[in-house]
Amino acid sequence: MNETLTWVLAGVAGLLLGAIFFGGLWWTVRKGASSRRSALWFFGSFLLRTSLVLPGFYLVGRGHWQPLLPCLLGFVMARPVVTWLTRSAEHRPIPPATETRHAP
């Protein structure tokens, strides 16, 4: 396979793995904050997210460290993307109002 295509696919895999990990973290914080057993939510979620992401990195690497670099980069890039997508409406910036000019 072409080396460039391998790097691109590894980066996309990293983005997907990061979306799973950080999206699951966002979901856990929302559910765990209102739960009576929040420690169980956070610990269980950590185990589940880690048990999904680590084999993903293992499959991407296939015994070589080179594909892990773009995968890790994609994983790290997924964090601000998930943060931006999951912001609540009250924290989103409101575009400035434009003035309308009316004739006197």
pLDDT for res 33? 85
Q: Read off the pLDDT band of 95 (50, 70, 90).
A: low
Q: Model-level pTM? A: 0.78
pLDDT for res 78? 95
pLDDT for res 100? 64
More confident residue, 73 or 3: 73
What's the one-letter identity of residue 34? S
pLDDT digits (tens, 9 = 90+) for 24-60: 999 999 988 888 898 999 999 999 999 999 999 999 9
Strands, E assignment, the chain? none
CA distance 44 to 18: 18
CA distance 64 to 57: 11
Angstrom distances, CA of residue 15 to CA of 6, 12, 69, 90: 14, 5, 12, 27
CA distance 44 to 26: 14
DSSP for 72-99, please give it. Answer: HHHHHHHHHHHHHHT--GGGSPPPPPPP
